[in-house]
Amino acid sequence: MPRLFVGLELSEEVREGLSELRSEVGEIRSARWITTHNLHLTLKFLGHVPDEIVQPLSESIAAAVHGRGSFSFTLGNAGAFPSARRASIIWYGLSSGSERVKNLAGAVEAAATRYGYPAESRPYHPHITIARIANVQDVTTSLDSIDGRLRGVEIEVKQVSLFESRLQRTGAEYSVKERFPV
């Protein structure tokens, strides 16, 4: 069973820019930085999907996003979940276009629930995860050093991608299985 999620691909230039922030952050104990080629914006994590459901689920997602029209969003500020003082994830958020991204995520969520994938209990917050932290810690100073550094960088959305996540000893490796035009 493949482990899948739906997301938005980022250009090489944007991924490189996000990766370069790592050198400006300084040392964060137990941080695992997302490799440059894996950076993306997740719309819906599906998890393990039975082989016989992959195709009909893909078709459902394609239909849900089709005709919504291309659009752009821009990067904004750095942040952390659940908070900068108790961080387990460091992310980069959006300064514009988040409503369009939320609507796209909602369409993907609706398509997935038809196949038994539960709706998220928390509100969707569009962001790009750049690091995961194993031991929760205060990253306020680190976030201050990168906050807004990429503000205004524009990302055009013309498609939604179905990614496969393969867990390796060195971490997860993501590959695009399918692309669906918006």
Q: How many domains does the chain have?
A: 1
Under DSSP, the state recorded for 83 is: -
pLDDT tens track for 20-62: 998 888 778 889 999 999 999 999 999 999 999 999 999 999 9
Q: In this predicted structure, what is the pLDDT of residue 56?
A: 98
Residue 169's pLDDT band (boundaries 50, 70, 90)? confident
The full length of the chain comes to 182
Q: Are 92 and 18 in contact (CB under 8 A)?
A: yes
Q: Are 28 and 139 in contact (CB under 8 A)?
A: yes
Q: Angle CA(48)–CA(33)–CA(181) in degrees, nearest 5?
A: 50
CA distances from 182 to 67, 108, 134 (A): 5, 11, 36
Domain region containing 74: 3-181
Average pLDDT, integer, range 69-81: 97
Does residue 114 register a pLDDT over 80? yes
Question: 3-state DSSP: the chain helix, strand, coil percent, rounded to 5?
Answer: 30, 40, 25
Report the CATH number at residue 169. Answer: 3.90.1140.10
Q: Which amino acid is at 79?
A: G
Does residue 167 register a pLDDT over 80? yes
Q: In this predicted structure, what is the pLDDT of residue 55?
A: 97
R_g over Cα of the chain: 16
Q: What is the pTM of this model?
A: 0.94
